[in-house]
């Protein structure tokens, strides 16, 4: 077993955060395979914890436990069962995030449940090496019809792993349908965004219904139409679902048809260009939803990403009718909550539209954040009303 001793003073952060960075380590003793369990000690010899080691990553150890215990199949069975039970206690049944990596003390493992299918991601070397065992545990805990791997993400490269996806167990249902907020949704586990769908916005999508009645709604970056469908169900008079992806728009049409909804019109467009065109034409909307992809994915791009968020929010505010509602989102962990709110204030100034903050929301409870780990509080949603 590798035994890592931290530099003096580094233990203060390490006792609170599950990532141990290589530059925090004073010395390494022992020997084992990469991806094996390593022991981490403070400079004074106190146990920091045990976790997976990977010399190829800047995060040299990802802590699994802070106490003396064996990390074997029973360990994973206990952790995954506890994660599932926590979601069931919240009332989740048909679809939810069943395991959320560090948030469930299982760094590098994501498990999303879609009806009787599981979509999984192995994001660290330690989890990758235990893929067969973890798949077996998931079968025991969930009894799924299919386990599909969606480890086709660039973050794996930082662990020295290549992107990969495919069936790990069972047979994939290409017509898989879930029920979210009373709506039927067709889910593409093979090619859909992330693990198939953005489950973290589940409760935020339902929350917009109270604002939608009788309104003309523009849903920007609509993806598979989650916000559009909920706006329609809330009684919107008209919904325009806009996205640059034809595949996404076809999914919107499919999901609208599944639910007998006819109030949604799809529009293939670059959203930035579309908002400028609407402004030039004097168009107004009673409600606008902005749920863009992350404009900043690293600390190096925060400045440029901030400009993107500022631009699109300014454009949207200019299109709001009197007393109109803007639902604006950021899924970037690097655009922190204080920055997000500052951006909204600046956009309000630029657009010369005064707003009040009706709601401030985050990701759904099945994606609960660890308060001493800023990386896990990534989704911010503000509901604004024009004055």
Instruction: Kindly report, residue by residue over 200-213, the tens digit of the pLDDT.
Output: 999 999 999 999 99
Q: Contact, 224 vs 305, CB < 8 A?
A: no
What is residue 375's predicted lDDT score, i.e. its pLDDT?
82
Cα separations (Å) of 193 from 150, 285, 311?
10, 28, 24
Nearest in space to 161 (alpha carbons), one of 57, 71, 263, 245:
57
What is residue 125's predicted lDDT score, i.e. its pLDDT?
97
Q: Contact, 348 vs 317, CB < 8 A?
A: yes
Split at pLDDT 50, 70, 90, the class of 356 is: very high
CATH code: domain of residue 354: 3.40.50.150
Contacts of 74 (CB under 8 A, 6+ apart): none
Q: Contact, 124 vs 95, CB < 8 A?
A: no
For the chain, helix, strand, coil in percent to 5 are 35, 30, 35
Split at pLDDT 50, 70, 90, the class of 241 is: very high
Split at pLDDT 50, 70, 90, the class of 372 is: confident
Phi and psi, residue 92, nearest 5°: -75, 140
What does pLDDT average to over the chain? Answer: 96
CATH code: domain of residue 12: 2.30.130.10
Q: Contact, 378 vs 332, CB < 8 A?
A: yes
Residue 113 pairs in a beta bridge with: 96, 118
What is residue 345's predicted lDDT score, i.e. its pLDDT?
98
Q: How far apart, in whole angstroms, are the C-alpha atoms of residue 98 and residue 83?
A: 6
Q: How far apart, in whole angstroms, are the C-alpha atoms of residue 342 and residue 335?
A: 10
Query: What does pTM read for this prediction?
Result: 0.94
| CA of residue 220 relative to chain centroid, distance | 18
Q: Contact, 184 vs 258, CB < 8 A?
A: yes
> Which residue did the predictor score with more confidence, 130 or 375?
130
Please give the helix or strand (H or E) that residue 120 lies within, else none: strand 117-122
Domain assignment present for residue 82? The answer is: yes
What is residue 126's predicted lDDT score, i.e. its pLDDT?
97
Is the pLDDT score of 114 beyond 90? yes
Q: Contact, 243 vs 223, CB < 8 A?
A: yes
Q: How far apart, in whole angstroms, are the C-alpha atoms of residue 77 and residue 101?
A: 15
Is there a single domain that holds both residue 49 and residue 77? Answer: no
Q: Classify 77 in phi/psi space as left (phi over 0), alpha (psi -120 to 50) or beta.
A: alpha
Q: Contact, 37 vs 127, CB < 8 A?
A: no
Split at pLDDT 50, 70, 90, the class of 164 is: very high
| Number of domain units in the chain | 3
Is there a single domain that holds both residue 81 and residue 146? Answer: yes
Q: How far apart, in whole angstroms, are the C-alpha atoms of residue 101 and residue 110?
A: 6
What is the domain range of residue 131?
A: 73-170
Is there a single domain that holds both residue 228 and residue 271? Answer: yes
What is residue 193's predicted lDDT score, i.e. its pLDDT?
87
Ranking 87-96, 112-121, 291-300 by mean pLDDT, the lowest is 291-300
Please give the helix or strand (H or E) that residue 121 lies within, else none: strand 117-122
**Pick the catalytic residue: 146, 220, 222, 331?**
331
What is residue 84's predicted lDDT score, i.e. its pLDDT?
98
Domain assignment present for residue 192? The answer is: no
Is the pLDDT score of 297 beyond 90? no
CATH code: domain of residue 134: 3.30.750.80
What is residue 344's predicted lDDT score, i.e. its pLDDT?
98
Is the pLDDT score of 299 beyond 90? no
What is residue 251's predicted lDDT score, i.e. its pLDDT?
96
Split at pLDDT 50, 70, 90, the class of 296 is: confident
Q: Are strands 320-330 and 380-386 parallel, antiparallel or unpaired?
A: antiparallel
What is residue 87's predicted lDDT score, i.e. its pLDDT?
98
What is residue 21's predicted lDDT score, i.e. its pLDDT?
97
Is there a single domain that holds both residue 304 and residue 331? Answer: yes
What is residue 29's predicted lDDT score, i.e. its pLDDT?
97
331 is catalytic: yes
Report the 3 state secondary structure along 83-109. HHHHHHHCCCCCEEEEEEHHHHCCCCE
Is there a single domain that holds both residue 237 and residue 345? Answer: yes
Is there a single domain that holds both residue 85 and residue 156? Answer: yes
Nearest in space to 171 (alpha carbons), one of 191, 152, 185, 190:
190
Split at pLDDT 50, 70, 90, the class of 376 is: confident
Is the pLDDT score of 300 beyond 90? no
Cα separations (Å) of 233 from 160, 184, 261, 262, 358?
45, 12, 8, 10, 21
Kindly list the strands in the beta sheet with 95-100, ordered across the sheet, starting from the edge strand earlier in the chain.
95-100, 109-114, 117-122, 146-151, 164-170
Is the pLDDT score of 287 beyond 90? yes
Share of residues in the chain with pLDDT > 70 (%): 100
Split at pLDDT 50, 70, 90, the class of 267 is: very high
Is there a single domain that holds both residue 53 and residue 77? Answer: no
Give burial (CB, 10 Å; 0-12/13-18/19+) of 300.
exposed
């Amino acid at each position: 077993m590798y035994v890592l001793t931290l530099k003096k003073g580094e233990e203060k952060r390490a006792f609170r955060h599950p990532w141990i960075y290589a530059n925090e380590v004073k010395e390494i003793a022992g020997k084992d395979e990469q991806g094996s369990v390593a022991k981490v000690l403070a400079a004074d010899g106190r146990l920091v914890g045990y976790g997976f080691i990977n010399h190829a990553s800047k995060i040299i150890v990802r802590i699994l436990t802070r106490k003396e215990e064996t990390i074997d199949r029973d360990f994973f069975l206990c952790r995954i069962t506890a994660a599932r039970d926590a979601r069931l206690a919240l009332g989740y049944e048909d679809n939810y995030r069943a395991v959320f990596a560090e948030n469930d003390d299982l760094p590098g493992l994501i498990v999303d449940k879609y009806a009787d299918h599981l979509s999984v991601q192995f994001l660290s070397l330690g989890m990758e090496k235990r893929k067969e065992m973890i798949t077996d545990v998931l079968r025991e805990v969930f009894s799924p019809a299919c386990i599909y791997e969606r480890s086709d993400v660039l973050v794996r490269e930082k662990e020295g792993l290549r992107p990969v996806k495919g069936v790990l167990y069972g047979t994939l249902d290409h017509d898989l349908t879930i029920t979210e907020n009373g709506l039927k949704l067709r889910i593409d586990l093979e090619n859909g965004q992330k693990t198939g769908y953005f489950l973290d916005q589940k409760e935020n999508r339902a929350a917009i219904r109270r604002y939608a009645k009788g309104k003309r709604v523009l849903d920007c970056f609509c993806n598979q139409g989650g916000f559009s469908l909920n706006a329609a169900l809330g009684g919107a008079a008209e919904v325009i679902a806009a996205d640059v992806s034809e595949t996404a728009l076809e999914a919107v049409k499919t999901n609208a048809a599944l639910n007998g909804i006819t109030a949604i019109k799809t529009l293939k467009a670059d959203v930035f260009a579309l908002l400028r065109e609407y402004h030039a034409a004097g168009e107004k909307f009673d409600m606008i939803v902005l749920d863009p992809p992350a404009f900043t994915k690293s600390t190096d791009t925060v400045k440029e990403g901030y400009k993107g968020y500022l631009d699109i929010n300014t454009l949207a505010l200019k299109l709001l009718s009197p007393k109109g509602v803007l639902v604006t989102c950021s899924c970037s962990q690097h655009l922190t909550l204080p920055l997000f709110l500052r951006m909204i204030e600046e956009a309000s100034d630029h657009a010369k539209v005064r707003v009040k903050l009706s709601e401030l929301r985050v990701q759904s409870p099945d994606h609960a954040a660890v308060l001493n780990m800023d990386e896990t509080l990534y989704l911010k949603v503000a509901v604004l009303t024009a004055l």
